[in-house]
Structure 1
Amino acid sequence: MEQPNNKAVLVGVQLPGSPHFASAMEELGELADACGIEVVGRIEQKAERVNSALYMGSGKIKELAALLQSANAEIAIFNDELSPSQIRNLEAELDTRVIDRTILILDIFAERAQTREAKLQVEVARLQYMLPRLVGLRESLGRQGGNGGAGLKNRGSGETKLELDRRRVEDRIAALQSDLEKLVSRRHVQRGQRRKNEVPVVCLVGYTNAGKSSLMNAMLRRYGSGAGKEVFEKNMLFATLETSVRGIELPDRRSFLLADTVGFVSRLPHHLVKAFRSTLEEVADADLLLHVVDLANPEHERQIEVTRETLLELGAGDVPTLLVYNKADLAGVAYPRIEGDNITLSARDGAGLEELSSLIGDRIFRDYMSCEILIPYEQGKLVAYFNEHAHVEEQTHEEQGTRLRLTCRIADYDKYAAEFVTL
């Protein structure tokens, strides 16, 4: 059986004022690799604007066609989102499969989606991407109707089929969104229950492959409850598509929920952001965001800006945030180190986890207080309660009762204040 040809040539146009073009092309190659495509060549052009018909000049298109043939490549991957007419024209000129950055990312998401919700979200995004491209072909297919017209009386068979395809796609999108709404409703109930229990939520956000899942697993190994709770991690783009939530209990018995979210990327397709909005609502509702940054990546400053822009789009621009510079061991800088709301650490070797936990605690446990109390011996169950639900630093037995020096929730202190003496 003949193996499919997965060789591709990358294509990009550098416009004026595009300082990150080189890194964007490198990232395009990484996206192709994540999709199982072998990159065998690259064509670039500097231009004032993208060619509306063929994306780049006709001379470069001829050069691209020659490179595709000489490299035995059957895929041309473009660094920007192509219009329906550009795709049609390029496929006619090159006689090969043409894909753009958007569909490449959508393909990766489709391949990696594991849960039912993620699969539904990706399918909605793919169909929404396809829909205008189907519609964009209507005029050319309509010419089959005769006399060059695309009127209702002279519809060609191609256009009639296209209309049917378009309606099927629209119906499928509506059905998928209905299913998603049910899942979103369930997620809202779960989130509401957490709010009712007043459990703080901390969300990991950041550029794809910055080490969010690695940091979550490091925290779980150090502070998690029970084995088998670790999330999937791998050194690849978009290793995580699901929002995973795990409980973290610090040594002082204060606990919070840690959520790992899908990574961001420059020019993350709008359809994907829209489709995953329900999943990413966890971010906007969080008490604290941990913005994880790959310090070893020379483009990490640009990646920080991309993440911030995406957070703004999600309505999470005002959520308190700690900047977590990860992979310090690979960057060759001193760590662990804290500077204001920034911390430098290494999730891989676990250095800096205690410092990070302390920073998290200072920001999300503001409803806690430190105190010293005396509990009468007849209230022994209260001693057991505080030992289970508070951080008891010292416990001594005195003539009148049990003395505790502890940090506890203000709500617990107020609830039981009449049953003990504050010292």
Structure 2
Amino acid sequence: MRRGLRERPGGGRPTRMDLLLSLAVVVTGLVESFGRQGTGPGRIADPVPLAAGAVAAGLLLLLRGRSPMAVLLALTATGVAVGWVTDTGYYAAWHFYSTLILVHTVGGAAEPRSRRGLAGLGCVLAAYAHLQTLQSNDVAEVMITAIFLGAAYGSGILLRRQTDRTLRLAERAARLEAEREERARRAVAEERARIARELHDVVSHNVSVMTLHAGGVRMLLGGDPARGRERDMLLGVERAGRAAVGELQLMLGVLREGGAGPEAPQPDLDRLDELVEQVRDTGLDVRLRITGERRPLPPGLGLSAYRVVQEALTNVRKHARAARADVVLAYGPGRLRVEIVDDGAGTGAGGEGPGGHGLIGMRERAAMHGGELSAGPLPGGGYRVAAGFPLDAPEAGEPPSGAGDRDDPASGGAACGEAPPAAPVLGVQM
């Protein structure tokens, strides 16, 4: 990849810069050849060979991207041929300019310590030696020519090394970006697996309660032969419930890592006071404010709201350099709003440490319940995380409001309100 990026655009085809340099050399050569036509010192008696040489040099510059060393040698040969035809020893300016351009290109074509770089250096020395034969030069002229050629060759080397460094940095940035995206994808997958593990206990508990209620209703029916159909239906519900609990146990075994112990009881917003006290013990002043009429929440939603507050306070404590954090729970008509605001100067409640993906997890939890999450710095300083959860839609798998409340014996509505015996609860509930 790096080698391909070093190649000239167009695979060696002339670029706009090549066209511009070629045009400049040709025009300069024609002006010089015909503008200095005449006899005497510094004049050109026959301008046609020099003009033809200028055109040839311009055409050679168009090919410098393909093989700069061969083009430099061809330019030197062109200078020798023009000097042999004119036999005047005139030092053409277009030849010197073209040589500088090609020496710069040769310097940037390969590393000097490589074989190709050493061959390029040999071509540069040959071109320099030819320039010294075009006229009688004193020591100062020899040194001036050497300085110009050396600067052109050195600038080519420096440009190549700078280009290589830029390409390496670009490759590294692309690799780091790909790794960051991969870590983010893994974080999303891990957070979803964690959410699934937490919801497993909630779902399995509800299924167990449903199964026990069905068993309790079946026992209340007694042995009345007229209620045999109802008992058979309730027995089918019990069996399906026990099978579902067993499947949930298998699912949990897949989701948990090998050797992981059982999950601790899952918290909800009723335990938010405990979380606030734990964070206060670390030295952060946390203020909890609850507005609106507090109401029971579906277990999964309460757990997700609790985790949002927990993750946000953890980020405040680790990254925000804050002295105070305000937590607000706002119960509105059909909506729960959770807001965490700190007064820190760091990345805040939504900030991430190196390798952290807490904001991704919070957003996943909000989206799972049809909500949304926003996070960002505040104009006056500090950071704010806000999550909104709809309360009017039932959770996945939860029956609509009022279902099972009728006195239909098949649904177990009236009898389900009675508490089942304690022994069956211990035997079935996970």
- TM-score w.r.t. length of structure 1: 0.22
Q: Is the helix fraction higher in 1 or 2? A: 2
Q: Is the strand fraction higher in 1 or 2? A: 1
